[in-house]
Structure 1
Amino acid sequence: MGAHQERRRRRRALLFLVLGFAGIGGLLRLWIGPLPDPEGLFGRAPVPGVRILDRQGRLLYEIAPPHQGGHTWVPLSRIPRACVQATLATEDARFYEHPGVDPIAILRALWMNLRGEGSPSGASTIPQQIARALLLEPDERTARTLRRKVREALLALELSRRYGKDELLEIYLNTVFYGHFAYGLEAAARTYFGKHAGELDTAECALLAGLPQAPSRYDPLTRPEAAEERRQQVLRLMVRHGFLSPEEAAIAAAERLRFASVPFPIHAPHFVMAIREALAAQFGEEAMFQEGLVVTTTLDLAWNEAITGILRHHLAEINRPRPDRPGAGARNGAVVVLDPQTGEVLAWVGSPDYFDATISGAVDGVRIPRQPGSALKPFTYAMAFDPHSGPLLTPASLLWDLPQTFIPAEGEGYQPINYDRRYHGPVSARVALASSLNVPAVAVLEQVGVPRLLDLLDRLGVQLPGPPTRYGLSLTLGGGEVRLLDLTAAYAALASGGRRVTPILIREIRDRHGRWRARAEPTPGPQVLDPRVAFLITDILKDPDARTLGFGAWSPLRLDRPAAVKTGTSSDWRDNWTIGYTPDWVVGVWIGNVDQTPLREVSGVTGAAPIWHAVMELLHRGRPARDFPVPEGVRRMTVCALSGKLPTPDCPQTREEWFIEGTEPKEADDLYRRWRIDRRTGGLAGPDTPPEAVEERVMIMWPPRAWKWAQENGFPLPPRVEQEGGKGAGGLRWVSPPAGAIYRQAPSLPPEAQRLLVELYWTGERIPRSVRVEIDGQPWMEWTSPPYRAWWLLIPGTHIFQATAELEEGEVIPAPSLRIEVR
């Protein structure tokens, strides 16, 4: 009896257990929901494409939905082995070992994420990615939920049960998204390299295999450095998993890739690619095809095509060899046009020919980072003119374009030189900026501070790569990389009175039924610069007289209307820029080579400027000339032309200058001095000089650091200066370092890399037998002939520099001692 009851109790418990599991299974099935049938991978109904129009309604391109239109299926047997191996190494190295889900990869990814290291290959297997991309609905694919992961894993297991490994790999390689409308390897090969998938080599396969995880982040056409880093990572993974030897990987890593696309009907292709990225970011990669979107952009197709023709024509002109110079060797160029009031992009030409593989024409010159040369100088001066920070300068301020040594954060000191390899002595801030002189610009940035310039650029929308500590004083001369689009928008802020201008590409988006999905409503951006500062910079950049020193009286920078403009040439001759604006339009031009090949004998004013000039003429044809409005709070007054101070009777030349109210000069000119000269001796007249021998002369009172320049350029020194140095024998003067200077060591650099240029010069006819320098009372350097120049290793502390010159007859002439501090 007891045994019978025990059996009944066990049967009931087993029944409850079965029912419990069945209930849990039912709840799980209910939670998971019905799964799509893997047999219907390509059985879904076609969806409409996305139509992209210019601002007048002209069709630029219709984007076909994924796996429709011209999609070409390539059998696995015709796909290069290197592409298969690169894909497996990057996406699913255990593809042929797991049943569709890889628990080892999941655990590894979880461990690396917990350690904050990230994972070069995610935990999702190739079957899981197929399930997500082809079987789940668009809104579920991007959901970060446990339910989606479970459904994806179950579908991956079912796919692996129904299909063979090679079949799944073929499906993946023919359907995965590589960016730029390219679904599948054949489309990617045609899009990026202008060839068939079967023609790809190992280096090209490695680049393509790295794209699916983040096509926009690793886009080689807009982010070439990130794409190259990703390609190198894929090659390392191929070595790690035994697909390549280190020697084979090194050969592939050294290969220089050329990018182009197979021609297809499209207008403004670089612009269309940017639109597609914007739509994908706003609606999702798949969801944007569900509503049959019609996108009206800001682009003017007629202007865009005309500007493309201008770019091609002028590149051909500067590349044509002539008897007096070789061709420039400039294969690439880009032009962008903005409306400074709305931010709308009217033209976007990323290269002379999108489909030309020999110039990597598919790479978008509007968006790739390049060195801007002097094109950042206006923002350096804008900080110095800002009344809320001093100001440090006005457009009339006297600056000195003389040899000068700077110690940047990069380490070893350097002496900037001008494009014409000459120094121009005393110049106004107006002339220094308009004529793009380098030494004054670096000196101004030293006063302003690199962090403040970086902050201003950031607030204007100009993003520079890397940490702020990477940049030093060379930043104002182009020591960083920026995008043409961003820098042109920053100049648009100058044209719009100091307000940030954000480029707008899309005017409106409607669905297939004509209903609005999005509409641009341009509003004024935040006030980044004081409008009075923006006006001062604009007035300088539009001043043809102020730029004559650097560019001549007549250059391509001059239009038939007021136009503010600035050029830029990178120090290694790889980049040419011209960016300028009127009240109506802002135009940015870059020319160079995508592969970083230097240009030959061409600068911003001879390379990019003629293109800018021709584009400006096109845009303003038939438009009345307009000048820039004068904001409240500025006034114009007369100053002494050279010193920028109030004129005196001795000032030989005056000029008109703009000032922000409250910054006007209050001191009288003290650069010009009246001297009583004894015409018999040429020296100062004394009490015993007969009145008839006294002559009054007005001469410039040169500061000591300008004496050498004045003598070399034929300017007389005042008699008192000439008599310094002991009985007219001559004088020894410091060029560098300046007395009282404070230098800061860069903690990120080794001490041996941080040096200071020590230089002296002699003002006399007889050359000294020797020149000696002592530092802190200890002998440091001796020269027996000029130049008297050497580098001194920076040592923290206060230091006393003393120098003497010994003449042939034994007379010793000292230079004034000076004190500096190193922190």
Structure 2
Amino acid sequence: MSSNNSSSETRMSRNNERTQGAGPKRPHNGWRLFRRILFIIVAIGVLGILAGAGLFFYYAQSAPKVTEGALSSDTSTRVYDANGKVISRLGAQNRNYVKSPNIPATLKSAVVSTEDRRFYKNNGVDPIRIMGAAFANVTGSSLGMQGGSTLTQQLVKLSVFSTNASDRTLKRKAQEAWLALKVDHDYSKDQILEYYVNKVYMGNGVYGMQTAAQYYYGKTLKSLDLAQLALLAGMPQSPTNYDPTSYPALAKKRRDLVLEAMASNNAITSAQAKQAEATSITTGLVKNHQTTTSNDPKTTKVIDAYLKQVYAELKKKGYNTTTGGLKVHTNLDMGAQKKLYDIVNGNSYVSFPSSKFQVGSTIVNPNNGKVVAMIGGRKTGNVTFGLNRAVQTDRSSASTAKPLMDYGPAIDYLYYPTYEPVKDTAFTYPGTTKNLYDWDRQYQGTITMRKALYESRNIPAVRTLQNVGIKKATTFLKGLGMTFDKPLTLQNGIGLYISSEQEAAAYAAFANGGTYYKPCLVSKVVTQDGKAHNYASTGKRAMSTATAFMLTDMMKDVITNDNGSGRSAAISGLYQAGKTGTDSYPDDYADQVPDGATMDSWFTGYTKNYAVSVWTGYDKQFQTGHYVSESQTEIAQQIYKYEMSYLASKSTNTDWTAPGTVTATSQGNKTEYYVTGHAGTVSDTTATSQYGSTNTTSSSAYSSNGQATTNNSSSKTNTTTTESSTSKESSSTTEQKPGGGDGGDDDNTDSTTTSSAGSTATSTDKHTNSTADTDD
């Protein structure tokens, strides 16, 4: 037994020895998995860095060149006319460049402390700053003083790249960083600071801090104290909001942050910072700003309205016109612009009643929608970007609306011929006792649509709109670029609240055969990175060629017919067409102005090459004496005549030819037209005397689609109002029974309440008490 026990002990001893001498245990499975994941993460990270570096250098290869000229130039927007001549730079300021030795050390310290604390240590790109900016943005601890871009990167951005938000791509960022490294390598820190100080936008059209010192303080940079220099150093981040004149509280907060940054960066002591912070933000500011204009004052006046609209168009397209360094090419015809300016501001062409008598006018090329000239007012003084009456929409267009809302849709949808019988008989707006009158307060019975248009008679126009229907008329107007905030009514058939720009573009569609082009002033924008962006309107069919031709043929008579309302616009030998419009005072004000006085007077006319719309009147039309007398209503026609004469002298003079969809016919020794296949029914349209008797040949006239227009409206109120234009031939007539009624499709009625029908409810319902807001 002893021997057995001995051998058993020996085996156990050996096993223990083996166990003790076996070395370390194998790793646990979880540890091995962790190591694998860590290895994969590191590998992915390395690959990501390599891929990022490869992508960075790939983008860097296509980076634009950065030259000393680009670094030292300003970033103002330059505007060119159609011939490529510079006509303006944004703002009134021309930059005063300051060399590095003349830049105060205090300003340099303020800029560096605010924008790039490690400026003198980094190589143009600062990874530490980028990580710090990311952390500060997450924690909200930067107080608006920390950004990822170095001063050098900001300089590059302002010098060679577009500032549009859509261009802030990874590729752009990579190129910006690459160019910043190159700039830091090629230029000294002092040179980089010099370029930055001279390039930044400082508000109010001011570029560069030297110019800003003169603009805000009337001094050079060297003459400013610590508080003033700190203010200027902080302004580039948001020049408008940190304007000490307009927003002193925000400007002070920003200035004090700059001072704190300077103290933190040991550029000044805390005591100096506190002393400067105690200084009023308005200390030293001047009231009369020194300007060194880069624009000819005479030219600036001439193009003011056009230029204002250019900047509005650029803003809609998303461009930054202050720091974008844009080159903006426009459609401006400077010759046409100067001529129009001279006509409305001089004494050689038109006799204006006073300096307060105003004008708004737009000229459009019918073949592409280009706005070639625009006037926003006359005798405006030295105001920059003042009220642009060419684009205002708070004045009624009066009877210039008739081709747009009444007769155009009637031809397009109902196939009315030019000789369509229309009724000029007593009319009451449906659902009211509000009567509508013509300008002479007489009725001519059944007449042709042509005659109703060239004599600008209101009742046939509104009856025609009834037959068309408001829905179809609104659709037709939409095709001509017009939309309205409020539903249109029958009264809008003799007055729309639209601008001369809208009307010129709409009439241009008549001129070119029915295609609408949205009016455009900007043709091309070249951004700082050299990219060219071209702009042009795309034509859209707004009406048939037949409609455009027939309207044009009728509107020729407005100018050439002995009874036409626009005879003062006649130009011998010129093929042209157009329409007048005058907007009378409401009844409750009519006794305060002479007979024949109106609030607004329009003329819109065109050739195959140009469409010109002219509005005239007073800004405050209800102020004593601010009316347009009967003779002065012709001023709009005269402005058109002189301007169109100039335009015609530099273009071809060709007549319109009837398209194949139109058929000519002879009616009463007059060539008339109808849409081929829709000749209609010809009835007795003999005009009655303008002095009283009404033609009663038939009780109703049938339109070309066999639709009757009848008189069957009812009265729903006890009071009677009237709507008419002022009389050019002041004679009275016996009032007939109220007429009107609902014809056409079932969306054509205007059965609104008395208050709705008794006012002009349009997109800008300005004259809600008006009962006399129609035409000639």
Normalising by structure 1, we get a TM-score of 0.52
3-state SS of 2:541 partner? coil
Give the 3 Å change call, closer, same or farther, for CA 738–343 of structure 1 in structure 2.
closer
Q: CA deviation at 1:618?
A: 1.5
Change (3 A) 1:101 1:564: farther
Q: Which has the higher helix share?
A: 2
Matching residue's letter, 2:579: K
Shift of 1:263: 7.7
Superposed, 1:410-449 pairs within 5 Å as 414-449=434-469
Q: Secondary structure at the match of 2:401?
A: helix
State the distance in 2 between where 1:177 and 1:576 align.
40
Q: Find the counterpart in structure 1 of residue 580 from structure 2.
A: 567
CA offset at residue 631 of structure 1?
1.4
Q: 1:299 aligns with which of 332, 338, 343?
A: 332
- 2:361 and 2:739 map into 1 onto residues whose CA distance is 43
Give aligned pairs, total. 566
1:365 pairs, out of 389, 396, 410, with 389
Matches within 5 A, 1:490-501: 490-501=506-517
Residues 444-491 of structure 1 deviation map (CA, whole Å, 9 limit, x = unaligned): 11221223222222222x33441xx43211222224333x22220111
Deviation at 1:393, TM superposition (A): 5.7
Taking the aligned partners of 1:631 and 1:747, their CA distance within structure 2 comes to 35
The answer (yes or no) to whether the contact 2:357–2:617 under 8 Å persists in 1 is: yes
Q: Which aligned pairs between 1:258-337 and structure 2 lie closer than 5 A? A: 265-266=295-296, 267=299, 268-279=303-314, 284-285=319-320, 289=324, 293=327, 295-313=328-346, 317-320=350-353, 329-331=356-358, 333-337=359-363
Residue number among 371, 375, 384 corresponding to 1:345 in the alignment: 371
> 1:480–1:741: structure 2 CA closer, same or farther, 3 Å change rule?
same
- Alpha-carbon distance change, 487 to 753 in structure 1, aligned in 2, over 3 angstroms: closer
Residues 672 and 699 of structure 1 are in contact (CA less than 8 Å); yes or no, is this contact kept in structure 2? no
Map Cα deviations across residues 160-191 of structure 1 (whole Å, 9 max, x no partner): xxxxxxxxxxx9xx95767xx57899999x9x
Residues 1:61 and 1:546: Cα distance change in structure 2 (over 3 Å): closer
Give the Cα separation in 1 of the matches to 2:653 and 2:437: 37
Q: Secondary structure at the match of 1:600?
A: coil
Contact 1:398 1:426 in 2 (8 A): yes
Mapped to 2, the partners of 1:463 and 1:139 lie a distance apart of 33
Contact 1:338 1:585 in 2 (8 A): yes
| Cα distance change of structure 1 residues 385 and 471 upon mapping to structure 2, 3 Å threshold | closer
Please say if 1:60 is aligned against 2:87. Answer: yes
Q: 2: distance between equivalents of 1:593 and 1:396?
A: 37
Give the distance between the partners of 1:318 and 1:176, measured in 2 at CA. 44
Q: Which runs of 5+ in 1 are unaligned?
A: 1-12, 34-43, 73-99, 107-123, 149-170, 199-211, 216-230, 235-260, 321-326, 641-653, 674-697, 707-712, 717-731, 757-823
**2:565 equivalent in structure 1:** 551
Q: After the TM superposition, which residues 18-57 of structure 1 pair with which residues of structure 2 at under 5 Å, given as runs?
A: 45-47=71-73, 49-57=76-84
For the residue of structure 2 that corresponds to 1:575, the secondary structure is: strand
Q: What is the match of residue 664 of structure 2?
A: 636
Where 2:368 maps in the other structure, the secondary structure is: coil
2:362–2:371 Cα contact (<8 Å) kept: yes
Match of 1:472 in 2: 489
Bigger-Rg structure (1/2): 2
Task: Check 1:530–1:129 CA distance in 2 against 1; reply closer, same or farther (3 A cut).
Answer: farther
Q: Say if 2:336 and 2:643, in contact at 8 Å, map to a contact too.
A: no
Shift in Å, 1:533: 0.8
Relative contact order (alpha carbons < 8 A, sep ≥ 6): 1 or 2 greater? 2
Asked if 1:627 is matched to 2:647, the reply is no
Please show how residues 516-665 of structure 1 align to structure 2 within 5 Å: 517-518=532-533, 525-544=539-558, 548-549=562-563, 551=565, 554-557=567-570, 559-572=572-585, 573-594=598-619, 599-602=626-629, 605-621=633-649, 625-639=653-667, 655-665=670-680
Structure 1, residues 483-542: CA drift from partner, whole Å, max 9, x if none? x222201111100000112334355566899x882456787x222211111011000111
After TM superposition, list the pairs within 5 Å mapping 1:199-210 onto structure 2: none
Cα 1:453/1:146, change in 2 over 3 Å: same
What secondary structure is seen at the aligned counterpart in 2 of 1:415? Answer: strand
2:338 and 2:525 map into 1 onto residues whose CA distance is 24
Residue in structure 2 matched with residue 453 of structure 1 by the alignment: 473
Name the SS of the counterpart of 2:510 in structure 1. helix
Q: Which structure 2 residues correspond to residues 36-435 of structure 1 after superposition, within 5 A?
A: 45-47=71-73, 49-63=76-90, 69=95, 142=165, 181=205, 265-266=295-296, 267=299, 268-279=303-314, 284-285=319-320, 289=324, 293=327, 295-313=328-346, 317-320=350-353, 329-331=356-358, 333-352=359-378, 355-357=381-383, 362-371=386-395, 372-386=397-411, 389-391=413-415, 394-407=418-431, 414-435=434-455
Structure 1 residues 353 and 480, CA gap change in structure 2 (3 angstroms): same
Q: In terms of mean alpha carbon deviation, does 139-148 or 554-563 score higher?
A: 139-148
Tell me, in whole angstroms, the C-alpha distance in 2 between the residues paired with 1:61 and 1:597: 37
Offset, 1:546: 7.8
Cα distance, 1:595 vs structure 2: 5.7
8 Å CA contact 1:566, 1:580 repeated in 2? yes
Instruction: Give distance in 2, aligned partners of 1:399 and 1:129.
Output: 74
**Aligned equivalents of 1:739, 1:529: Cα separation in 2:** 25
SS state at 1:566 partner? strand
Distance 1:394 1:185, change over 3 A: farther
Candidates 472, 482, 485, aligned match of 1:463: 482
| Cα offset, 1:543, TM superposition | 1.1
What is the CA distance between 1:610 and its match in structure 2? 0.8
One-letter code aligned to 1:492:
A
After superposition, give the CA deviation of every residue in 1:80-130 in whole Å (9 maximum; x if it has no partner).
xxxxxxxxxxxxxxxxxxxx9999999xxxxxxxxxxxxxxxxx9799999
Partner AA of 1:299 in structure 2: L
Task: Please give the alpha-carbon distance, in whole angstroms, between the structure 2 residues aligned to 1:138 and 1:439.
Answer: 60
Question: In structure 2, the residue corresponding to 1:607 is in which secondary structure?
Answer: helix
The alpha-carbon distance between structure 1 residues 62 and 574, as it changes in their structure 2 partners (threshold 3 A), is: same
CA offsets 1:389-430 (integer angstroms, 9 cap, x no match): 3335643323224333235xxxx6633333344444333211
2:738 paired with 1:735 = yes
- SS of alignment partner, residue 738 of structure 2: strand
**Taking structure 1 as reference, are residues 585 and 101 closer, same or farther at Cα in structure 2, changes over 3 Å only?**
same
CA shift, 1:369, in A, is 2.3
More strand, by proportion? 1
Give secondary structure in 2 for the equivalent of 1:542.
Answer: helix
After superposition, give the CA deviation of every residue in 1:321-374 in whole Å (9 maximum; x if it has no partner): xxxxxx59413x2332222223333322333356544xx872223323243222
Structure 2 gap ranges (5+): 1-33, 57-69, 99-134, 172-196, 219-236, 241-245, 248-290, 586-597, 689-694, 701-709, 713-730, 759-776
1:386 partner SS? helix
What one-letter code is carried by the residue in structure 2 that aligns with 1:586? A
Q: 1:197 to 1:439 in 2, by over 3 A?
A: farther
Instruction: Tell me the distance in 1 between the aligned counterparts of 2:140 and 2:349.
Output: 54
User: Which position in structure 2 is the counterpart of 1:227?
Assistant: none
One-letter identity of the residue aligned with 1:395: Y
Code of the residue aligned with 1:532 in structure 2: it is: A
Shift in alpha-carbon separation, 1:355–1:384, aligned structure 2, 3 A:
same
Cα 1:125–1:424 change in 2 (3 A) is: farther
Q: What's 2:22 paired with?
A: none
Task: Return the alpha-carbon distance in structure 2 between the equivalents of residues 613 and 543 of structure 1.
Answer: 16
Distance in 2, Cα, partners of 1:374 & 1:396: 19
For normalisation by structure 2, the TM-score amounts to 0.54
Distance (Å, rounded) in 1 between the aligned partners of 2:745 and 2:217: 61
1:723-772 Cα offsets, whole Å, 9 max, x none, are xxxxxxxxx995357599999999998x685789xxxxxxxxxxxxxxxx
Which amino acid counterpart does residue 613 of structure 1 have in structure 2?
K
